[in-house]
Amino acid sequence: MEILQAIGDWIVGFFGFDDLMEFLENKSFTDFLTYDGIKVLIRPLFPITLVLELARGLLFKSFGLGNYKIPFFSYVLNAFIGRYLSLGMTAICIGFFEPKALFQVSFTWYWFIYGYIVWELAHFIYHYLAHKVRLFWCLHSTHHAPENMNLAVSYAHFFLEGPYADIIRASICILAGLPPAMLFAIMFIDGTWGAFIHIGDHLVKNARMGKLGNFMLSPAHHRVHHARNVQYMDTNFCNLLNIWDRVFKTYQPELDDVKVEYGITREMKPNHFLDAYFGELVALAKDVYHAPGLVNKFLYIFMPPGWSHTGLHKTAAAMKKEAGIG
């Protein structure tokens, strides 16, 4: 019975129903108009949509349960470790950098716009480095390993990626004067939208979002980001507003004549969790071990994925240049 109770509690917690029931017991309906009330209402939407996506896929046989293998085991492994490390890193960054902030802004709607633009820049920097520094790519590659797109992919992360991301994002935002309350509100919006842009193309075929897609990052943009097509590699690093992708010329819309191919360029076992989770770290360790001299060993760690001491580079930039793209 204890096991069944634990499973029941986990399901209730996964869907966010525990917070919703507590809110209903202790608050009035007008409290749903507050920030905390909106969070409680929105939180269950993603897991419910995930279940509907899974049910529809199984019903129409558009994919199998194996497509969810990497995200599922990543979620189980990261359920406690990654979450608390990430929160801890954010708290440390706030405590360390808040006294050193260039200036302080108030939590008003106009400063919130400023705060979100700063957050998107911080997210862009973290995400760009995750693709351009091989050590960081080892942490990020688990998220790109699935060879299909569905909502569960938002759970596919190496446990150290969240803390690494939040160190960069929180530090930049706090130094730029964002108050912690504003930072956490932005993180909630970012996390919610960042999850939904992984919606499967079998559920929403055309996800360009019309004219909204001109300034917002749509699911179609993020599908491009997850592609291993040379045309699409290392593009669309933003999360909600694509302003910085346009500024730094990494913006790439989905093309009608270039079908997205999901996954990473390294040959790996399909839907193999251990390979997806540790494969890039193993490959990096082998390259460092076999590299001649300390300088080359160091370069393998910090140069972009695909860099080689032989000069036969297979980086995204080199592959695009070879294909005449750019």
The Cα 262–Cα 193 span in angstroms is 20
Those residues whose C-beta lies under 8 Å from the C-beta of residue 178, and which sit 6 or more positions away, are: 105, 115, 118, 119, 186
pLDDT digit string (tens) for 197-238? 999 887 888 899 999 999 999 999 999 999 999 999 999 999
The Cα 296–Cα 315 span in angstroms is 16
pLDDT digit string (tens) for 83-114? 677 778 899 999 999 999 999 999 999 999 99
Say whether pLDDT at 58 is over 80: no
pLDDT of residue 14: 65
By C-alpha distance, which of 251, 243, 78 is closest to 165?
Answer: 78
pLDDT digit string (tens) for 152-191? 999 999 999 999 999 999 999 999 999 999 999 999 999 9
Global pTM reads 0.88
Say whether pLDDT at 27 is over 80: no
Least confident of 71-85, 132-146, 210-224, 247-261: 71-85
- Return mean pLDDT, the chain: 88
Say whether pLDDT at 318 is over 60: yes
Q: How confident is the model at residue 11 (pLDDT cuts 50, 70, 90)?
A: low
Q: Are 64 and 147 in contact (CB under 8 A)?
A: no
More confident residue, 10 or 94: 94
Q: How confident is the model at residue 326 (pLDDT cuts 50, 70, 90)?
A: low
Kindly report the three-state secondary structure assignment for every residue of 37-69: HHHHHHCCHHHHHHHHHHHHHHHCCCCCHHHHH
pLDDT of residue 66: 65
Burial of 18 (0-12, 13-18, 19+ CB in 10 A): middle
Say whether pLDDT at 151 is over 80: yes
